[in-house]
Structure 1
């Protein structure tokens, strides 16, 4: 599973589930995929929803004929750039015990026959928590939820731009983590032919050490400067070949994906990466078939955590400011640590705000998610599933799609949307066409409509 969680990515997305941004000065969790194609935005979240609503959403999710798979994301409100100079300090903070307490509360809500498919720990935890704290955290998770051995392949420790120590890597491996996520800045070393500081060699040594400890998957955000020169391409390709990194994304020093017009990188994309066994899955992510979360014959799906072979994933967010996504409902925990701790100590799920999607929202989310994972998005299948005529329901959007077609971004037919450029900028522009954040859904909630045997009407 591809899960960005570093400082560079956080600056690029600021944890928006759509284009909107939260208030300045608010530290939002770092483990979610950038807002491209996600729906809705934080401006849609209201304080009308609280812990009692969250409990109802979980109950509804448990009652589905085929309950969705579960992924646990643990956050602590620290920034991704936290370097853990004093690991014990995090353990001593008064809010620490509340995180494991919330895990226990969450475990009582979800049915025991719904095993966790994986766990993701944000950099503040993977780097900053003490050994004892990490032991207690993992013990709490395994006590609160059903864990199947095979799902440890999706236990991901995120380090952001921090360089993990050997001791910390060994401990996390013992605790069951099988994946490491790093953001590495090679923007200067790859441009320097001589690499006098040996940065590339140190990165290679770190990655080989992680591999030697038995981790099954490595995911990298590589920060490279623009324009990327030939010597830099050679160094990067040699690094990837030696370390067999399963997942890699290239971003520039500003935190954005490298432009598709960067000719040297185009060579890397079309030739070298392909020769090394990488395939482009969109949004400038490249993966090999060795990646446990993305099988060679498995269809891809989209969730707030990015690309995955798990369909209909439910995300349980734990910690201050954590975001949960349960089918048609999203929620966010209290941001302030004091408020978060007080609620958890009282045995209350610390949901501070949330939103329930209506049928128009769900339809648009389905389209955006489908576009992100499918080069050929099937319009006809969507029409049959939702009972709409695409060109009529999305009449205003059709004009915007034609504009993108004229720009060479896609080909539009009666039956499909064929995306020609799978870079982030182009996919974001396409998803933005269907983002209806400024409007209120004009159709009744999907669940009510289905109970009445209705289809989604055109606008």
Structure 2
């Protein structure tokens, strides 16, 4: 595979590309691989984490992965802000619906207290990536957003600029233009807006009313203020959607021209997420309709010049994400594909996950548990995973396949000290149907994802997940399509 084959600019303007999608991705092929599968923002996936104590380590995992923070050269920060003013019925995030702003201000006190716990535990190195997620981070008023960033600066080396990516998730229904000024002043240069769908009927079905004019005004204002990348989150498979309505939403999005687009599949799991029980199952599109939507939306985006990066991500050819993909420099973390990978991530707030070279650790999910733990010891770690050598190899392999679309067998053998085919015989057997379907090439030297296979990266990666196969928990994951 040559270096331009991941996201070559020529493919975006080639009128044969959308035709190729139709011929390469039949309904039968998509249906065959549409079942539940992890997204692999981490390996092992977070559902495998075991109890972990910051005070004593864990007998299950055998160590304290945060101790490796002393040896990093670069750092990412994530802050989880769970508050929202109203309930979106489709949402599966860890959230708190309230209009009592004092709860958010008090929560911020705890986040900054937690940050202090890391003062003596992390090296004084540049923060190349900062991300505020939620919930709705822009629930915070401008004063508290400023207080948060200044508080983080007391502990971590925040150095905003061209060599860093500071991003925030925003709800366009509640985002004020004045807040954009505050965010730029604090160093934020990337804005992600949750759009989901522009169809009024779909918006009513999910309780998220937002006219496109409002998004247009905010997009324009953000560009005027120097946000270098603006991304939209869209969802297909929502209640009341069909191919025609989704195509109209995509046409509006194309007209607004965001730099990046994430086109997610809606996972209807009312048994896990209480809010989704407010959605009428009669309005949920059939699996066949969802596949048709995914195809139609992808064709429209590619015809408009967007490049398909893999999984559910698209970008304009002039966006740095496309250039990074072309150069083989994409990485992946809990926020998805990223340009600014770091040696470690510190996650702050309820349910936030951190990682280092030695493993993962996660905070308490519930507000009460999180608050109690912070008050007692300044940290809220409750579970995690200490990586062993096999975990590290598989983690690296999965990231290579998902980000670079190629796995060099010699590189793997250098890590494991054994022949690839012998060590991964069960995995190669699991990959045979995908190879037969033209999703993957297995040569003497490489495993190489094909153009068609980019749509099935989760399925390909899952073959190397030693904790997945034979497990009874596979159904808990979201469906690929």
TM over 0.5: yes
Distance change >3 Å, CA 309–CA 379, structure 1 → 2: farther
Aligned match of 1:281: 309
Distance change >3 Å, CA 45–CA 185, structure 1 → 2: closer
Q: Measure, in 2, the Cα distance between the counterparts of 1:355 and 1:413.
A: 34
Task: Please point out which of 109, 121, 135 is paired with 2:146.
Answer: 135
Task: Please point out which of 110, 114, 135 is paired with 1:102.
Answer: 114
Q: Measure, in 2, the Cα distance between the counterparts of 1:289 and 1:140.
A: 37
Counterpart contact for 2:65–2:361, Cα < 8 Å: no
1:371 to 2:401 alignment:
yes
Task: Please point out which of 147, 152, 169 is paired with 2:158.
Answer: 147
Task: Give the total of aligned pairs.
Answer: 394
Aligned match of 2:42: 38
Q: Measure, in 2, the Cα distance between the counterparts of 1:91 and 1:270.
A: 41
Counterpart contact for 1:71–1:315, Cα < 8 Å: yes
Deviations 1:109-141 (A, max 9, x none): 2121x1111211123452322333222111111
Counterpart contact for 2:309–2:322, Cα < 8 Å: no
Distance change >3 Å, CA 205–CA 374, structure 1 → 2: same
Q: TM-score, normalised by structure 2?
A: 0.71
Q: Measure, in 1, the Cα distance between the counterparts of 2:181 and 2:46.
A: 38
1:316 to 2:321 alignment:
no
Counterpart contact for 1:117–1:151, Cα < 8 Å: no
Task: Please point out which of 224, 228, 231 is paired with 2:243.
Answer: 228
1:60 to 2:61 alignment:
no
Counterpart contact for 2:82–2:137, Cα < 8 Å: no
Shift of 1:431: 1.3
Counterpart contact for 2:331–2:340, Cα < 8 Å: yes
Residues 151-230 of structure 1: pairs in structure 2 closer than 5 A = 153-159=164-170, 162-186=173-197, 188=199, 199-224=211-236, 227-229=242-244
Shift of 1:234: 7.0
Aligned match of 1:73: 78
Shift of 1:367: 1.4
Counterpart contact for 2:41–2:332, Cα < 8 Å: no
Shift of 1:183: 1.6
**Secondary structure of the corresponding residue to residue 360 of structure 1:** helix
Distance change >3 Å, CA 131–CA 88, structure 1 → 2: farther
Q: Measure, in 2, the Cα distance between the counterparts of 1:232 and 1:335.
A: 34
Shift of 1:354: 1.5
Aligned match of 1:267: 299
Residues 13-28 of structure 1: pairs in structure 2 closer than 5 A = none
Counterpart contact for 1:294–1:308, Cα < 8 Å: no
Q: Measure, in 1, the Cα distance between the counterparts of 2:265 and 2:297.
A: 12
Q: Measure, in 2, the Cα distance between the counterparts of 1:85 and 1:214.
A: 32
Q: Measure, in 1, the Cα distance between the counterparts of 2:78 and 2:41.
A: 20
Counterpart contact for 1:187–1:223, Cα < 8 Å: no
Q: Measure, in 2, the Cα distance between the counterparts of 1:85 and 1:342.
A: 20
Q: Measure, in 1, the Cα distance between the counterparts of 2:462 and 2:248.
A: 36
Q: Measure, in 2, the Cα distance between the counterparts of 1:364 and 1:89.
A: 44
Q: Measure, in 2, the Cα distance between the counterparts of 1:313 and 1:294.
A: 22
Q: Measure, in 1, the Cα distance between the counterparts of 2:157 and 2:210.
A: 45
Aligned CA-pair RMSD: 3.6
1:111 to 2:123 alignment:
yes
Shift of 1:182: 1.4
**Secondary structure of the corresponding residue to residue 345 of structure 1:** helix
Between 71-80 and 409-418, the greater mean CA deviation after superposition: 71-80
Between 262-271 and 318-327, the greater mean CA deviation after superposition: 262-271
Counterpart contact for 1:298–1:309, Cα < 8 Å: no
Unaligned runs of 5+ in 1: 1-18, 21-33, 192-196, 441-459
1:251 to 2:256 alignment:
no
**Structure with larger RCO (C-alpha < 8 A, sep 6+):** 2
Q: Measure, in 1, the Cα distance between the counterparts of 2:343 and 2:162.
A: 14
